[in-house]
Amino acid sequence: MPSFTFYSSKDNPHLSELVSKSTDCVVPSMFEGVRGNLKNKCSYLNWHSGHQAPVEHYQSSDGSYAFLIGDAIADTSDDYLSAEELLTMVTEQREQAEAGLIRHSGFYAWIVVLADDCIYCGSDPFGFFPIYYFQGKDSLCISTSLNALHAHPEYDASVDPVGFCRYIMENGCSSDRTLEKSGKRLQISRTIRYDLRSGKLTTTQFPYPGSLAEKRIHTLEAGIKLAAEASIKAVKRHTQRGIDSCMLSGGLDSRQLLGIAHQLGHRPVCVTTGTKHTYESINARRVARNLGLKWECSMNKTEPGQKLLDDEMYLTSLGGGFNNTPMSWAEIPSIRGSRYLTGLFFDVLMYPMDSVGIEEGFCNFSFAQNSWIHNFGVIPEILEDLLVNDTFITGFHQAIEEVRAEWEALPSDPIRRQWQTVARYRARAHHGYISWKNAFYNWPIIPAMDVPLHEAIHSIAYELMLDRKLQNETFMATSPDLAKIPLVSVSSKPRPLITTRKTRYYRKMERLERRYERLKQKCSNGNSKTNTARTHCWELARQQAIEQVDGASDIFDTEKVLKLIHASQENQQCNKRNYRQKYSDRLLAGAIYWLVNRPV
């Protein structure tokens, strides 16, 4: 799917050789797809994508060219951007074109090279598509993989202590830092402009989608009407090129968007990850049956654990190194090579905060830090205790201060700040990671990445959205039959939004179904316990981290690390506190594995 490497230099005649050295680390191992390249006298671009990935390129007679990967939909119309239009837009409008390009909706990235003049680059306004870059003495390198930049002779691949600490605490650094000293990550809602003649590199910051919207809707009835209209329009815009499948969880987001797509005439195959005996699968299957759609369960199909670990080393996605969710959808036949609808990111848009959070005083940094910024990475207090290297200890404290300064620079309105905190520190690392890594095999259709939708929702009074009130009411108004089927996610119990006489018996039926499916699995496999893809991958990572921990002794207190990892292995209870600790321990094991095995 979506990988490319771009090198530009005024004096280096061996650009294609530098790019060819990077080829193996921009796609998963043994990945097959479509390759191509663009070049002129001062630059060379190479891409490698899956057959399902939308890729366009256009080159003019003077050598200027444009490269576009993904679906980019204009905010003022429903038209998809083409590579030719992209080149014309930048050629004629230059810097003014950047503001227009950043308002396109969808999951995409683009590069424009204007002969021997200027280079422009950007991605979707939510920062999901990873763009790494490095500026040399007389050159610029851009890639979707941090490792690809290693080929440049001026690149310093040594570990950045601040970036390293931020990455493992935040589960993917949200600033422009990466794990390495020379590499940078393009920030959310920013573009790159590089002047080939002067060698000047400029990054321009644009407003986050919806951040400038004025509050004009203050009644629930008006809010429901606007939310319904905007959601339907977003799904219609993003499914113009069709959808083949849908990643259907037991929760609200994917169900709501699937219901809209069904009303618009789409009939995708519905796929739920996990096993058939979970409450999530049982209710997802019930939704598909209600809509007359085919439903399948992935049954935790995944690639071998070692291959997943190797791919983490090849790709170093979203900051380099590890994330809590490995690539796991490549082995699901029903979605492989398809355009799949997903509810990712919709909860971030529709659910800024619950009333309990407000009562706890969420407008302070400590609450944001514990609830979102560091909630999915290594716990800061644990990391500080494990570090023994003075440079990394200093880097740790600088990382905390950087995050605090970034958070304090967010909008002063507490709920608007909360919204951007979740989008910045959670959505890009988690949703962006899932979207990009799995898009090598299946192309994501994400209606929640719609700029007009964000502007519409942000014009609704915040109090109407607390505790998902607006989203629940909108769903019940537009899809009442689906709202009667219990909602359930990995961490919640089944509950219908609309209770009827029939739904009172759902819980008993679900228990019987769970017993039946477990019995079938036990009889067919001889074992009723099934590890998920991520569990299998992380157990292997933890085992190898234990074996290789001495390789990180210059940074960590290895005795404390081993004690912590062994304690985590013994504690298998599932509750919120243990999940928090589990995330922390997984990222710690991943960090050690990365330090010892990373390609340099």
Q: What is the CATH number of the domain that holds 453?
A: 3.40.50.620
What is the 8-class DSSP label of residue 175? S
Q: What is the mean pLDDT of the chain?
A: 87
Tens of pLDDT along 10-21?
766 667 777 776
The tokens describing 67, both together, are: 């490269």
> What is the 3 state secondary structure string of 376-422?
CCCCHHHHHHHECCHHHHHHHHHHHHHHHHHHHCCCCCHHHHHHHHH
Number of domains in the chain: 2
Q: Are residues 98 and 231 in the same domain?
A: no
Question: Is 587 among the domain residues?
Answer: no
Q: Are residues 188 and 268 in the same domain?
A: no
State which of 22-31, 169-178, 283-292 shows the largest mean pLDDT. Answer: 283-292
The answer to whether residue 212 scores a pLDDT higher than 90 is no
Q: Domain boundary at 476, 510, 525, which? A: 525
Contact call for residues 376 and 425 (beta carbons, < 8 A)? no
Distances from the Cα of 587 to the Cα of 250, 309, 426, angstroms: 27, 13, 15
Q: Are residues 12 and 42 in the same domain?
A: yes
Backbone CA torsion sign across 372, 375, 378, 381: positive
CATH number of the structural domain spanning residue 32: 3.60.20.10
Question: Is 25 among the domain residues?
Answer: yes
Q: Are residues 193 and 238 in the same domain?
A: no
515 is in which domain, residue-wise?
Answer: 220-298+333-351+438-525
Question: Is 120 among the domain residues?
Answer: yes
Residue among 381, 298, 281 nearest 332 (CA): 298
Q: Are residues 42 and 124 in the same domain?
A: yes
Residue type, 409: A
Q: Are residues 199 and 139 in the same domain?
A: yes
Q: Are residues 194 and 249 in the same domain?
A: no
Tens of pLDDT along 510-527?
666 666 666 666 666 544
Check residue 127 and give left, alpha or beta (phi > 0: left; psi -120 to 50: alpha): left
Q: Are residues 190 and 257 in the same domain?
A: no
Question: Is 322 among the domain residues?
Answer: no
Tens of pLDDT along 526-561?
444 445 556 777 788 889 999 999 999 999 999 999
Contact call for residues 67 and 48 (beta carbons, < 8 A)? no
Q: Domain boundary at 525, 557, 581, which? A: 525
Q: Are residues 201 and 224 in the same domain?
A: no
Tens of pLDDT along 300-331?
777 777 877 777 776 654 334 456 566 667 77
Question: Is 558 among the domain residues?
Answer: no
Question: Is 373 among the domain residues?
Answer: no
The answer to whether residue 563 scores a pLDDT higher than 60 is yes
Q: Are residues 190 and 225 in the same domain?
A: no
Contact call for residues 57 and 38 (beta carbons, < 8 A)? yes
Dihedrals phi, psi of 592, to nearest 5 degrees: -65, -45
Q: Are residues 199 and 225 in the same domain?
A: no
Q: Are residues 198 and 227 in the same domain?
A: no
Distances from the Cα of 23 to the Cα of 18, 30, 553, angstroms: 9, 12, 32
Question: Is 387 among the domain residues?
Answer: no
Residue among 5, 139, 132, 115 nearest 64 (CA): 115
Q: Domain boundary at 525, 553, 584, which? A: 525
pTM above 0.85, yes or no: yes
Kindly give the pairing relationship between strand 269-272 and strand 295-297. parallel
